[in-house]
Amino acid sequence: MTGVDGEIRRRPTEPMHHPQITTDQKGIPMAGVVTVRLPDGSTKELADGTTALDVAESIGPRLAKAAVAAIVDGAEVDLSTEVPDGSSVAVVTADSDQGRSVIRHSTAHVLAQAVLRLWPGARFAIGPVIEDGFYYDFELPGGAHFSDDDLGRIEVAMREIMEENQPFIRYEHSIEEGLALFEDQPFKREIIEAVEAGANEVDATAAENGGPEVSTYWNSPTFTDLCRGPHVPSTGRLGHFALMRVAGAYWRGDEKRQQLQRIYGTAWESEKALAAHLERLKEAERRDHRKLGAELDLFSFPEEIGSGLAVFHPRGGTIRRLMEDYSRKQHEAAGYEFVYTPHITKAELFETSGHLDFFADGMFPPMELDGGQQYYLKPMNCPFHILIFKSRQRSYRELPIRMFEFGSVYRYEMSGVVHGLTRVRGMTQDDAHIFCTPEQLEGELHTTLNFVLSMLRDFGLNDFFVELSTRPEGKAVGAEEQWDEATEVLRRVAEQMGLETVPDEGGGAFYGPKISVQARDAIGRTHQMSTIQLDYQEPQRFGIEYTGADNSRHRPIMIHRALFGSVERFFAILLEHYAGALPTWLSPEQVVVLPVTDAHQEYAEEVERRLHALGVRVELDTGDEPLKPRIRRAKLTKVPYILVVGADDVAAGTVGVNRRGSNRPDRAVPFESFAEDLITEIADRGSPETPDPGLGDAPGDDPGDDRA
């Protein structure tokens, strides 16, 4: 078949519906039969030529209606794909994670078609699925740029395409045919040429059997896109989407290449799911740590210092100090030894470690000192800790050795990915490195993972799963056998602890696999928190050894562990998790005392002194303003407790307690009773609120609610 966009090499058979087969009078299946195995282990016998959609229909009409794709023998395919005899088939429904990915990918294609319809001559690049959405990159004619005002008319064009119910029809092409098909689309041609060279691209991959091929999806005589698939059967299956924003993006993420125009969108299986997502985005915006950091006067990023380099103000510095002090206390109790290392080093250290071979793009450029000697800002602490281990002879009796440091590191993040405190260029890692014997390894991993989870729970994060990251092909050092052994140990430890384990194929560091603890916050978002990496390679590269019980030299195994990840990022996650209303023990001010008038100031000062003597972080706000503006100002700082004292309190030795999150103040509370409850709450790492952290403000938290 020949399409208007170029010669088509092959066209698949149009979908046909094949009823479930019957048997002859003796109960023997008739000829032309395929048998498929379903996820529950049962089998179905269907007519030869049965498609994945036919399988869904044979199970039930509701499943067929919900289906958007299928998984046949582990591969995601279109519903129109014929299933081979003996295959395993699972139907992918719209409300599953895989189903939503199909919906988002298909919606991205419709976005591209709409843009090309509205901007003839536009060039389109890639349109992958991302978390909760998708994007597509374009180069507009004449160097034009999208504006936010364009999103509305693009959405209108997309809905027109969806109403046309255009089919998604897959075609296979040779490399030559693909290049001819996209002769006016340089980004697509570059992808096809990369596939010809054996690359695995976002929108295309080299065929496993035979010569290189690429696949496309035809929607109409005016639009074909390069794509692996799968897709929904037709554009009419789509419609629950929203375009979110426009941005600039470099082609291939390379700032030396063309800057393209990117449109972000989201798509869901229903209007209800879309509305819920948009509501979550509003809540996430309310919790944005960058916004809260400015409102609460916690940190800033002065232009005079540079992108991605934060300074912490006194209130933010107090929170950070409390985090670090608590971490130090727990590490000391867990048998860690504290070390300190410099911020720069000679280049040779990172040549030995391999960082200059595998991580140079993420490092700041070198400084030349002392007659040409190159020095680098350190991106990692691990080589320094290895040198401490290597500084003298070690015995098996000393192991395990657990070194810990709050070490500042520096990484050259591209300007386009720097984001508040979560992606910075200068950070402090709570970095630990454990050196142990092979016999101690599994026990140390258990102990380390338990320690990590316990610490995260202390900070109010309780919903976890782990991600297991394996060998990165082409970037790893060391024998595959060691990698396999290390990966299996990590998997076994996670499973023995009953943790849900999600694979991250190829996501390990260059020196070893890792498990990453993923935590869900108060609004259900997932954040990578702590990492535990197993490393056989760095001890070999540095030649470190210990003397065993047999008086022979042995190589220790090294465990890399960052619990916060970085202090800055953990700070941001906590701030968003609690929507700025931190637990009392972490709040920069725990109590603000307000006298009603000047006549009550002396008693207010006495309350301040008594709380300060108990170790409470307390402030006195006398001011020249009336009481209501002072209450409003204190509430805006999200302080856990506001104490208002008047004439009755002076006479009775009581305080009026405005508890963050409460509907109304508690009046005439004996000071001793309040102080006792407060000290208990701080010791228990509690909060004044009874609901979940930050999930909406109670009436008493409204800055306009000035009841005293």
CB atoms inside a 10 Å sphere around CB 310: 21
**260 vs 252: CA distance, rounded Å:** 10
Structural contact between residues 454 and 605, judged by C-beta atoms closer than 8 angstroms: no
Catalytic member of 44, 262, 331, 382: 382
Q: Is 411 a catalytic residue?
A: yes
**92 vs 78: CA distance, rounded Å:** 10
CA distance readout (Å), 564 to 456, 569, 579, 655: 8, 8, 19, 38
User: Of the candidates 15, 43, 48, 17, which has an alpha carbon nearest to the alpha carbon of residue 31?
Assistant: 48
Which residue type occupies 480?
E
Catalytic member of 18, 104, 402, 433: 433
Structural contact between residues 107 and 267, judged by C-beta atoms closer than 8 angstroms: yes
Catalytic member of 170, 320, 385, 514: 514
Catalytic member of 105, 231, 237, 560: 560
**243 vs 261: CA distance, rounded Å:** 14
Q: Is 560 a catalytic residue?
A: yes
Q: 295-299: which pairs have CB atoms within 8 A and are 24 or more residues apart? A: 295/580, 295/636, 296/580, 296/637, 296/638, 298/575, 299/421
Q: Is 382 a catalytic residue?
A: yes
The two three-digit tokens of residue 504, written as one number: 């991250």
CA distance readout (Å), 472 to 71, 475, 511, 561: 26, 6, 9, 19
Between 671-683 and 601-613, two packed helices, what is the crossing angle to 10 degrees? Answer: 40
688 half-sphere exposure, CB direction, 13 A CA radius: 28
Catalytic member of 113, 166, 261, 429: 429
Q: Is 109 a catalytic residue?
A: no
The two three-digit tokens of residue 287, written as one number: 């919790």
Residue 553, Cβ density class (10 Å: 0-12 exposed, 13-18 middle, ≥19 buried): exposed
Q: Is 355 a catalytic residue?
A: no
Structural contact between residues 216 and 195, judged by C-beta atoms closer than 8 angstroms: no
What single DSSP character describes residue 599? G
Q: Is 25 a catalytic residue?
A: no
CA distance readout (Å), 108 to 138, 276, 330: 12, 21, 48
CB atoms inside a 10 Å sphere around CB 346: 14
Catalytic member of 44, 109, 355, 411: 411
The two three-digit tokens of residue 282, written as one number: 């509003």
The two three-digit tokens of residue 269, written as one number: 């299986």
Q: Is 277 a catalytic residue?
A: no
Q: Catalytic residue positions?
A: 382, 411, 429, 431, 433, 514, 560
